[in-house]
Protein backbone atom coordinates (compact mmCIF):
# COMPACT_ATOMS: atom_id res chain seq x y z
CA UNK A 1 0.00 0.00 0.00
CA UNK A 2 1.51 3.30 -1.08
CA UNK A 3 2.03 6.10 1.40
CA UNK A 4 -0.48 8.97 1.24
CA UNK A 5 0.59 12.04 -0.70
CA UNK A 6 1.27 14.88 1.74
CA UNK A 7 -0.81 18.03 1.21
CA UNK A 8 0.74 20.84 -0.77
CA UNK A 9 1.71 23.86 1.27
CA UNK A 10 0.53 27.39 0.49
CA UNK A 11 2.16 30.78 0.93
CA UNK A 12 0.06 33.92 0.56
CA UNK A 13 2.49 36.77 -0.05
CA UNK A 14 2.11 40.53 0.05
CA UNK A 15 -0.51 40.74 2.79
CA UNK A 16 -0.79 44.20 4.29
CA UNK A 17 -3.97 44.53 6.36
CA UNK A 18 -5.27 42.70 9.44
CA UNK A 19 -8.47 41.78 7.59
CA UNK A 20 -6.83 40.10 4.61
CA UNK A 21 -4.25 38.50 6.85
CA UNK A 22 -7.07 36.98 8.87
CA UNK A 23 -8.69 35.75 5.66
CA UNK A 24 -5.48 33.95 4.72
CA UNK A 25 -5.17 32.37 8.15
CA UNK A 26 -8.82 31.30 8.15
CA UNK A 27 -8.40 29.76 4.70
CA UNK A 28 -5.53 27.66 6.02
CA UNK A 29 -2.41 29.27 4.55
CA UNK A 30 0.82 27.69 5.79
CA UNK A 31 3.00 30.78 5.30
CA UNK A 32 2.14 34.47 5.52
CA UNK A 33 4.38 36.74 3.47
CA UNK A 34 5.11 40.36 4.39
CA UNK A 35 6.88 42.43 1.75
CA UNK A 36 9.38 45.07 2.77
CA UNK A 37 10.33 46.71 -0.52
CA UNK A 38 9.25 50.34 -0.96
CA UNK A 39 8.74 50.10 -4.72
CA UNK A 40 6.19 47.30 -4.31
CA UNK A 41 2.45 48.05 -4.01
CA UNK A 42 2.50 45.42 -1.24
CA UNK A 43 5.18 47.12 0.85
CA UNK A 44 4.68 47.32 4.60
CA UNK A 45 6.98 49.25 6.91
CA UNK A 46 8.45 47.48 9.90
CA UNK A 47 6.01 49.02 12.37
CA UNK A 48 3.06 47.62 10.45
CA UNK A 49 4.90 44.35 9.79
CA UNK A 50 5.48 43.88 13.51
CA UNK A 51 1.75 44.22 14.23
CA UNK A 52 0.80 41.84 11.42
CA UNK A 53 3.44 39.31 12.48
CA UNK A 54 2.02 39.30 16.01
CA UNK A 55 -1.40 38.43 14.55
CA UNK A 56 0.13 35.38 12.82
CA UNK A 57 2.18 34.06 15.74
CA UNK A 58 1.42 30.41 16.43
CA UNK A 59 -1.06 30.14 13.53
CA UNK A 60 1.20 30.02 10.47
CA UNK A 61 4.83 30.62 9.56
CA UNK A 62 5.90 34.22 9.05
CA UNK A 63 7.98 35.19 6.03
CA UNK A 64 9.55 38.57 5.42
CA UNK A 65 10.49 39.35 1.81
CA UNK A 66 13.56 41.52 1.26
CA UNK A 67 15.31 42.61 -1.92
CA UNK A 68 19.11 42.93 -1.87
CA UNK A 69 19.11 43.96 1.82
CA UNK A 70 22.16 45.31 3.59
CA UNK A 71 23.07 44.05 7.05
CA UNK A 72 21.18 46.83 8.84
CA UNK A 73 17.97 45.99 6.99
CA UNK A 74 18.33 42.30 7.79
CA UNK A 75 18.76 43.07 11.49
CA UNK A 76 15.75 45.41 11.46
CA UNK A 77 13.60 42.79 9.74
CA UNK A 78 14.50 40.14 12.30
CA UNK A 79 13.87 42.50 15.20
CA UNK A 80 10.51 43.70 13.86
CA UNK A 81 8.98 40.61 12.29
CA UNK A 82 10.72 37.76 14.14
CA UNK A 83 10.34 35.76 10.90
CA UNK A 84 10.33 32.01 10.59
CA UNK A 85 11.82 32.45 7.11
CA UNK A 86 13.54 35.25 5.22
CA UNK A 87 12.73 35.39 1.50
CA UNK A 88 15.41 36.98 -0.67
CA UNK A 89 13.98 38.19 -3.96
CA UNK A 90 16.78 40.27 -5.43
CA UNK A 91 20.11 39.59 -7.10
CA UNK A 92 21.78 38.22 -3.99
CA UNK A 93 24.75 35.97 -4.81
CA UNK A 94 25.07 32.57 -3.15
CA UNK A 95 27.75 34.07 -0.92
CA UNK A 96 25.46 36.89 0.14
CA UNK A 97 22.61 34.45 0.82
CA UNK A 98 24.91 32.47 3.10
CA UNK A 99 26.03 35.64 4.88
CA UNK A 100 22.43 36.79 5.43
CA UNK A 101 21.47 33.38 6.79
CA UNK A 102 24.33 33.52 9.28
CA UNK A 103 23.63 37.13 10.27
CA UNK A 104 19.91 36.58 10.76
CA UNK A 105 20.11 33.17 12.38
CA UNK A 106 16.96 32.24 10.46
CA UNK A 107 16.21 29.92 7.54
CA UNK A 108 16.42 31.61 4.15
CA UNK A 109 14.51 31.06 0.91
CA UNK A 110 16.06 32.31 -2.34
CA UNK A 111 13.88 33.25 -5.29
CA UNK A 112 15.24 32.41 -8.73
CA UNK A 113 13.70 33.95 -11.83
CA UNK A 114 12.88 31.46 -14.58
CA UNK A 115 12.20 32.10 -18.24
CA UNK A 116 14.26 29.34 -19.90
CA UNK A 117 15.76 25.98 -19.00
CA UNK A 118 19.17 27.62 -18.66
CA UNK A 119 17.91 29.63 -15.67
CA UNK A 120 17.75 26.40 -13.65
CA UNK A 121 21.55 26.18 -13.78
CA UNK A 122 21.71 28.64 -10.88
CA UNK A 123 19.83 26.31 -8.54
CA UNK A 124 22.67 24.07 -7.24
CA UNK A 125 24.78 26.98 -6.00
CA UNK A 126 21.84 28.48 -4.13
CA UNK A 127 20.54 25.14 -2.87
CA UNK A 128 23.83 24.70 -1.05
CA UNK A 129 23.32 27.82 1.07
CA UNK A 130 19.53 28.40 1.20
CA UNK A 131 16.99 26.32 3.10
CA UNK A 132 14.43 26.51 0.32
CA UNK A 133 14.31 27.54 -3.34
CA UNK A 134 11.43 29.49 -4.92
CA UNK A 135 11.04 29.41 -8.69
CA UNK A 136 9.31 32.54 -9.95
CA UNK A 137 8.67 33.89 -13.43
CA UNK A 138 11.57 36.11 -14.40
CA UNK A 139 10.53 39.74 -14.24
CA UNK A 140 9.97 41.40 -17.64
CA UNK A 141 12.60 43.87 -18.83
CA UNK A 142 12.07 47.21 -17.14
CA UNK A 143 9.79 45.83 -14.40
CA UNK A 144 9.69 47.99 -11.28
CA UNK A 145 9.91 45.04 -8.94
CA UNK A 146 11.37 41.51 -9.22
CA UNK A 147 8.24 39.51 -8.35
CA UNK A 148 4.47 39.75 -8.05
CA UNK A 149 4.11 40.72 -11.69
CA UNK A 150 1.32 38.25 -12.42
CA UNK A 151 3.24 36.32 -15.07
CA UNK A 152 3.83 32.58 -15.20
CA UNK A 153 6.64 30.70 -16.90
CA UNK A 154 6.47 27.59 -19.05
CA UNK A 155 6.21 24.81 -16.48
CA UNK A 156 7.52 22.26 -19.00
CA UNK A 157 10.94 23.83 -18.37
CA UNK A 158 10.94 21.87 -15.09
CA UNK A 159 10.38 18.48 -16.76
CA UNK A 160 13.00 15.98 -15.52
CA UNK A 161 14.86 18.75 -13.66
CA UNK A 162 16.50 17.78 -10.38
CA UNK A 163 15.01 20.22 -7.90
CA UNK A 164 15.80 20.42 -4.17
CA UNK A 165 13.17 19.04 -1.78
CA UNK A 166 10.66 21.70 -0.81
CA UNK A 167 11.12 23.79 -3.96
CA UNK A 168 8.27 26.32 -4.17
CA UNK A 169 6.51 27.44 -7.36
CA UNK A 170 5.38 31.00 -7.98
CA UNK A 171 4.48 33.27 -10.87
CA UNK A 172 1.05 33.89 -12.33
CA UNK A 173 -0.74 31.35 -10.15
CA UNK A 174 -4.42 31.67 -9.28
CA UNK A 175 -7.30 29.41 -8.24
CA UNK A 176 -7.94 28.48 -11.85
CA UNK A 177 -4.49 27.16 -12.72
CA UNK A 178 -2.77 26.15 -9.48
CA UNK A 179 -4.14 22.61 -9.61
CA UNK A 180 -2.67 22.07 -13.07
CA UNK A 181 0.60 23.64 -11.93
CA UNK A 182 0.93 21.19 -9.05
CA UNK A 183 0.15 18.21 -11.26
CA UNK A 184 2.46 19.21 -14.10
CA UNK A 185 5.45 20.19 -11.98
CA UNK A 186 5.13 17.65 -9.18
CA UNK A 187 6.05 20.36 -6.67
CA UNK A 188 4.39 20.47 -3.26
CA UNK A 189 4.59 24.16 -2.29
CA UNK A 190 3.16 27.23 -4.02
CA UNK A 191 3.34 30.97 -3.51
CA UNK A 192 0.71 33.47 -4.68
CA UNK A 193 0.38 37.23 -4.54
CA UNK A 194 -1.24 39.00 -7.49
CA UNK A 195 -3.39 35.93 -8.21
CA UNK A 196 -5.48 36.62 -5.10
CA UNK A 197 -5.85 40.37 -5.63
CA UNK A 198 -8.64 42.55 -7.00
CA UNK A 199 -6.05 45.25 -7.85
CA UNK A 200 -2.28 45.53 -7.31
CA UNK A 201 -1.69 45.29 -3.57
CA UNK A 202 -5.37 44.75 -2.69
CA UNK A 203 -5.91 41.18 -1.50
CA UNK A 204 -9.37 39.67 -1.96
CA UNK A 205 -10.58 37.33 0.83
CA UNK A 206 -12.75 35.29 -1.55
CA UNK A 207 -9.86 34.77 -3.97
CA UNK A 208 -7.59 33.77 -1.11
CA UNK A 209 -10.09 31.15 0.07
CA UNK A 210 -10.59 29.86 -3.48
CA UNK A 211 -6.85 29.56 -4.06
CA UNK A 212 -6.20 27.57 -0.90
CA UNK A 213 -9.20 25.35 -1.64
CA UNK A 214 -7.91 24.69 -5.17
CA UNK A 215 -4.52 23.65 -3.80
CA UNK A 216 -6.07 21.26 -1.29
CA UNK A 217 -8.34 19.76 -3.96
CA UNK A 218 -5.43 19.19 -6.34
CA UNK A 219 -3.63 17.03 -3.79
Phi, psi angles (nearest 5°) of residue 207: -70, -35
Residue from 13, 174, 188, 191 carrying the catalytic annotation: 13
Reply yes or no on whether 119 is catalytic: no
Residue from 136, 174, 188, 191 carrying the catalytic annotation: 136
Q: Are 112 and 136 in contact (CB under 8 A)?
A: yes
Nearest to 219 by CA among 53, 4, 8, 74: 8
E strand or H helix at 113, and its extent? strand 108-114
d(CA 70, CA 35): 16
d(CA 32, CA 39): 20
Reply yes or no on whether 191 is catalytic: no
d(CA 114, CA 205): 29
d(CA 213, CA 12): 13
User: DSSP 3-state assignment of 63?
Assistant: strand
E strand or H helix at 95, and its extent? helix 94-104
* CA distances, 124 to each of 42, 48, 93, 94, 117 (Å): 30, 35, 12, 10, 14
- Catalytic residue IDs: 13, 136
Amino acid sequence: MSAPIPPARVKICGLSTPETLEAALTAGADWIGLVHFPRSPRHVDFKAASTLAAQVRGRAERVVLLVDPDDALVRAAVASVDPDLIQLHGRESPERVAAIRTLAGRPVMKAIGVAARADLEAIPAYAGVADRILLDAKAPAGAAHPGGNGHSFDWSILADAELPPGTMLSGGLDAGNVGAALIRTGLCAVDVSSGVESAPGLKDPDRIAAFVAAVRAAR
